Structure 1
Amino acid sequence: MSGIYIHIPFCKQACHYCDFHFSTSLKSRDAMVLALAKEMRLRKEELPEQKVETIYFGGGTPSLLRVDELDFLIQEVYKNYKVSEAPEITLEANPDDLIKAQSLSKHQSEVLNSTSIFEAYKHIGINRLSIGIQSFYEQDLKLMNRAHNAREAKQCLEEATVYFDNISLDLIYGIPGLTHERWQHNIDTALSFGVSHISSYALTIEPKTALKAFIEKGIVDDVDDEQAQAQFMMLIAALEAHDFVHYELSNFGKSDYFSRNNSAYWQGKPYLGIGPSAHSFSGNERSWNIRNNIKYIKAIEEGHLPKETEVLSTTDKYNEYVMTGLRTIWGVSLTKVEQEYGMHYKNYLLDQAEPLIKEHLLYIDDATLHVTKTSKFLSDGIASNLFKLNLS
C-alpha cells in the first residue's frame, strides 16, 4: 500500500507555536490548487503499481479550500493513481472554518445535493475529519493565537459528530498556565463528544516562532517539562479508561479507528507528498519540496519538480525504524532489524539497550523492544541513545 499527502499551505492567521510551512495570503490559492494537481500528474510514475489506500489533506489549513477545490484534487488522485476500493480520505480542519461554512450557498447545495458542509465533504469522499481543537479554554486559544474560540470548538464537534463517526481531535498539553484541573476538563470535554480518535501533543517551543519570542521577552512563562509529563500521564490514564488504545506516542484510537495514514508512516510504508514543503518516502529515498509557495508554483507550471532527494543508507533506515518503532505499540522487532539491516545492527541495538533495560526504560517482549509505560514520554530521547552514527 501507499499513501498520498497533499499539503495545503494557507492559514487565516499564524498560530504562535507553529513552524509548519504556510502563508496567510490566499492570493495564489487558485494557482496553487492547479499546481498541486499538476504535481500529481508529473509524479504519477512514482507509484506505478502500488494501490493508494490513504489520501490526507494536511497543512496549513485544508478546510480553507472550497468543497469543489477539494473534490478536484481528490479526482486528480483517482485519475493518476491506482486507488483502493475503500481509501481513508482525511481532511484536517479548524472549527471556525467548519462552523462558518456550515450553511452552503444555494448554488453549492444544488451542485452537491447537500445542505451542510459535512454532507458535502461526505459527498466528495472525505470519510475522516481531523479537527484542530487544541483547548476548550479561551485563555489557551488566545495565547496560541488560534482562529476559533471555545464556543466554536464545541459547536463544531456537536455538528460534526452527527455526520461522521471517524473523527480525530487535537489537544495540546503543557501550555504555560494550564493547570491539571483545566487539562482534565479538556480531556473530559473531548470524551463527552464520543470521538473515536484523539491526537495530543506537548507544546514545544520552536525557533523563529512568536511564542519563542514571547518567552524570551518574559511575556509568557516558559514551558515546564514536569508539568507536561504529568499531564501526559493524566491523558494516558483517562483515555485508556475509556477504551482508547495508546498506539503511538501522541495518538490514541478506539479499535478500528487508528489513523491508517499515520500508521503507514510509522511502519515505513511509501508515501507521496504533494505541495510546497511536503515530504515523500519511497523506502530507499526521502525527498522534500521547496518551502516557498511562489517558487513551487512557478517550477510546477514549467514542468519541474522543485524537490531535493536523499538516498538513505542502511544506518539511516535503521535509525528511522528505531525512532518510529519505539513511539508505537508495535515496537522495534529484533527479527526485522536482523533481517533488513544485518546481525551487526541487531547486536549493536541490544548492546545499547542493555543499560536502558536495567533502568526499566525499555523491555523486550516476544523479540520486540518497547519503552516501558512510565518512560513513554521520553521515547524520542531513549531512541536517540540507540541510534548508530553514519560515519560514512
Structure 2
Amino acid sequence: MNRAHNAKEADSAVKRVQDAGFENITLDLIYGYPLLTDQKWKANLDKTHELNVPHISAYSMTVESKTALAHFIKKGKQPEMNDNQSAEQFLFLIGQLKEWGYEHYETSNFAKPDQYSRHNTNYWRGVSYLGIGPSAHSFNGEARKWNIANNAKYLESLLLDKIPAEMEILTQNNRVNEYIMTSLRTMWGMDLSKIDRDFGSGYSTEIEKSAEEFFDKGWIIKKDPNTLVLTDAGMLFSDHIASELFIDEERK
C-alpha cells in the first residue's frame, strides 16, 4: 500500500507506547483493500485483540484522486476497490469487536465501555469548540469559522491584532441537517425530541415520514419512542440515509 512502515514496525510502535505506560491509546485499521483477503483481515483483528487497546477506528479503503494508488489502479497495476468485499469485512468487524466487548459507538469507531474519544464525540454531539492556529476550525452552534491556512500570513495578522478567518452562518435547516448527519452515525442515535426542542416543532414529523422506507428495509429502528438509530446493515448506508432525511434548504 506504499506505506512508510511495515506490519512489524506498527506492532512494535504500539508495544513501545504501552511499555512507556500509556493505556488510553487507539489503533486505526483499513479494510476493503482488494489484496486484503478475509483471512488477512481476520488476522489483523486477532492481532488487534492481542494488543488489547481500548479504542479502535476502522475505515473502508477509498481511492483519492492524484494519489499513487489511483495511478496504479488506472494503469491496471492494482485491482479496483470492491464494495461487496468492503461491506462483508465491515460487518465481520462489527461482529468480532462486539464479541470482544467493544461498543460500536460511531460508524467508524469502537471502544471498550466509557473509552470513547471525547474529542470526536463532541463533534458528533454538536458541542461548541474553539480552534486556535492556522487552519483551525471553530463552531459555536450557530456559525462555523476557519482560520487562514498560511502560517506566515496568520502570524502577520496576529501582529496586527487580527485573526484572519472566514465564517459561515448556518441556517436553521443547515443546523438540523448537521444534527441528522452526525447523530445517526452514533449508537446514541437521533433524538427527535431534541430536534423539536432545539429547532422547533414540525421537523421531527417530517424526518420520521422520510425514514419510513428505511424502517421497512431494517436499516433504522426506534431505540425508544423518540430516538432513531441505525442497525448494523444501516451503517453500510449511513451517508445515503442521512442525505435522504435532510430537510430541504428551501423549507421555511
Taking structure 2 as the reference length, the TM-score comes to 0.92
User: Which residue matches 1:152?
Assistant: 9
**Structure 1 residue 346: Cα displacement:** 1.1
User: Which residue matches 1:18?
Assistant: none
Kindly provide the amino acid, as one letter, of the partner of residue 228 in structure 2.
L
Unaligned runs of 5+ in 2: none
In the TM superposition, 1:1-392 aligns within 5 A as: 143=1, 145-162=2-19, 163-366=21-224, 367-391=226-250
Name the count of aligned residue pairs: 249
Q: Deviations over 1:181-234 (max 9, x none)?
A: 111111111111111000111112233433333323333222111111111111
Unaligned runs of 5+ in 1: 1-142
Instruction: Give the 3-state SS of the residue equivalent to 1:286 in structure 2.
Output: strand
Aligned mates of 1:358, 1:289 — CA distance in 2: 44
Aligned mates of 2:63, 2:32 — CA distance in 1: 11
Instruction: Give the 3-state SS of the residue equivalent to 2:110 in structure 1.
Output: strand
**Structure 1 residue 297: Cα displacement:** 4.1
Aligned mates of 2:62, 2:156 — CA distance in 1: 34
Instruction: Give the 3-state SS of the residue equivalent to 2:213 in structure 1.
Output: helix
Q: Deviations over 1:34-66 (max 9, x none)?
A: xxxxxxxxxxxxxxxxxxxxxxxxxxxxxxxxx
Higher relative contact order (CA 8 A, sep 6+): 1
**Structure 1 residue 302: Cα displacement:** 4.4
Instruction: Give the 3-state SS of the residue equivalent to 1:365 in structure 2.
Output: strand
Q: Percent identity?
A: 44
Aligned mates of 2:45, 2:100 — CA distance in 1: 11
- Following TM superposition, where does structure 1 have runs of at least 4 consecutive aligned residues deviating by more than 6 angstroms? none
Q: Deviations over 1:128-177 (max 9, x none)?
A: xxxxxxxxxxxxxxx1x322222211111112122111111111111231
Q: Deviations over 1:296-344 (max 9, x none)?
A: 4444454432321101111011101001111001100110111111222
Aligned mates of 1:365, 1:244 — CA distance in 2: 19
**Structure 1 residue 294: Cα displacement:** 4.0
Taking structure 1 as the reference length, the TM-score comes to 0.60
Kindly provide the amino acid, as one letter, of the partner of residue 74 in structure 2.
E
Aligned mates of 2:78, 2:59 — CA distance in 1: 19
Aligned mates of 1:215, 1:271 — CA distance in 2: 39
User: Which residue matches 1:40?
Assistant: none
Compute the RMSD of aligned alpha carbons: 1.7
CA distance change for structure 1 residues 176 and 298 in 2, over 3 Å: closer, same or farther? farther
> 1:174, 1:224 within 8 Å by CA — same for their partners in 2?
yes
